[in-house]
């Protein structure tokens, strides 16, 4: 249950009048050659999947997206923080994310490593996702490296309700089928693209809500409108599961539409 596929960051409708070099608020390298030549890091995420009570799929996707936002906004990820170097190196290359699963003793060992655990949903199927600071592609901690990547699928016990008005929504492409882990990583990419577009004050306002968001699958007509709206679109690099360039998620944050999220 994984996604090592980093998105191709979409070009804005009107190219900004700034240098191609990554800036302090958006350190992602725009040129594919520079991005690929940079040292490659990966952001590990581990979802807790107990046999008796696996999380609901939508809760897992939303919790993974919030986990990415939590580590982006954490003080340890900021300049001078203990994770700052790894976070910068990761965002200067491809923003790879890998989702692995754990249960029982595996989850307890993973939880003992430096990171942030985020929960979502309610009841015995509530989702728990732990995000860790980025590591080199070949430098995983042993207690994470041995966790399973594939073989688990998640479902929703019932269709998710319509998202609340004013809440950021990460809209999934209805024409693309993804495993749960792949979709979790793609939702994380989408949340990160939205984050990059916000000011510090807008990020703090989102943080004050606990990074409230929804993940839903758009219908076909809505998806066409979303992809032409200028909102951030995740385009997959095509390393696993789906063809290169596939649009997977659109980040529909009210601020990016010029609306007050409150």
**pLDDT string in tens for the chain (262-residue length):** 444 444 443 333 322 222 222 333 444 444 455 667 777 899 999 999 999 999 999 999 999 999 999 999 999 999 999 999 999 999 988 889 999 999 999 999 999 999 999 999 888 889 999 999 999 988 999 999 999 987 668 999 999 999 999 999 999 999 999 999 999 999 999 999 999 999 999 999 999 999 999 999 999 999 999 999 999 999 987 777 788 888 999 999 999 986 544 3
Query: CB–CB of 40/140 below 8 Å?
Result: no
What angle (nearest 5°) sits at the alpha carbon of residue 44, between those of residues 243 and 125? 90
Lookup: tokens for 241: 């599961």
Beta strands (DSSP E) in the chain are 7-8, 41-48, 96-102, 116-120, 127-131, 135-136, 169-172, 214-217, 233-236, 247-252
Q: What pLDDT, on the 0 to 100 scale, is given for residue 15?
A: 26
The pTM is what?
A: 0.86
Q: What pLDDT, on the 0 to 100 scale, is given for residue 171?
A: 98
- Which phi and psi (to 5°) does residue 69 adopt? -65, -40
- Which phi and psi (to 5°) does residue 92 adopt? -80, -10
Q: What pLDDT, on the 0 to 100 scale, is given for residue 240?
A: 72
- Taking alpha carbons only, the member of 232, 187, 198, 191 closest to residue 59 is 187
Lookup: tokens for 83: 């994770």
The contacts of residue 62 (CB under 8 Å, 6+ apart) are 120, 121, 127, 187, 213, 214, 215
- Taking alpha carbons only, the member of 144, 45, 34, 16 closest to residue 94 is 34
- Taking alpha carbons only, the member of 45, 11, 47 closest to residue 30 is 11
Q: What pLDDT, on the 0 to 100 scale, is given for residue 18?
A: 23
Q: At what angle do helices 57-73 and 200-208 cross, to 10 degrees?
A: 130
Q: What pLDDT, on the 0 to 100 scale, is given for residue 35?
A: 67
- For 112, other C-beta atoms within 10 Å of its C-beta total 9
Measured CA distances, 11 to 7, 76, 139, 234 (Å): 12, 30, 31, 11
Instruction: Walk across the sheet containing 214-217 and list its strands.
Output: 7-8, 233-236, 247-252, 169-172, 214-217
In SS3 terms, 85-127 reads as HHHHHHHHCCCEEEEEEECHHHHHHHHCCCCEEEEECCHHHCE
């Amino acid at each position: 249950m994984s996604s090592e596929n980093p998105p191709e960051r979409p070009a804005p409708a009107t190219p900004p009048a700034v240098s191609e070099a990554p800036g302090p608020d958006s350190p992602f390298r725009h040129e594919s050659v520079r991005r690929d030549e940079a040292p490659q890091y990966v952001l590990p995420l581990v979802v807790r999947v107990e046999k008796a009570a696996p999380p609901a799929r939508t809760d897992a996707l939303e919790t993974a997206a919030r986990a990415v936002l939590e580590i982006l906004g954490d003080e340890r990820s900021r300049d001078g923080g203990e994770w700052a170097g790894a976070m910068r190196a990761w965002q200067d290359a491809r923003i790879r994310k890998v989702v692995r699963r754990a249960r029982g003793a595996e989850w307890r060992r993973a939880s003992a490593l430096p990171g942030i655990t985020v929960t979502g949903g309610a009841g015995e199927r509530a989702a728990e996702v732990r995000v860790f600071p980025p590591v080199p592609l070949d430098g995983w901690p042993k207690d994470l490296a041995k966790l399973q990547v594939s073989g688990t699928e998640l479902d929703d016990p019932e269709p998710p309700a319509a998202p609340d008005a004013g809440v950021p929504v990460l809209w999934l492409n209805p024409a693309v089928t993804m495993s749960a882990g792949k979709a979790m990583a793609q939702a994380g990419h989408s949340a990160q693209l939205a984050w990059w577009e916000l000011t510090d004050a807008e990020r703090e306002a989102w943080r004050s809500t606990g990074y409230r968001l929804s993940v839903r699958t758009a219908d076909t007509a809505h998806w066409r409108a979303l992809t032409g709206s200028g909102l951030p679109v995740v385009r997959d690099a095509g390393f696993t599961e789906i063809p290169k360039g596939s649009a997977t998620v659109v980040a529909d944050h009210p601020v990016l539409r010029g609306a007050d999220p409150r």
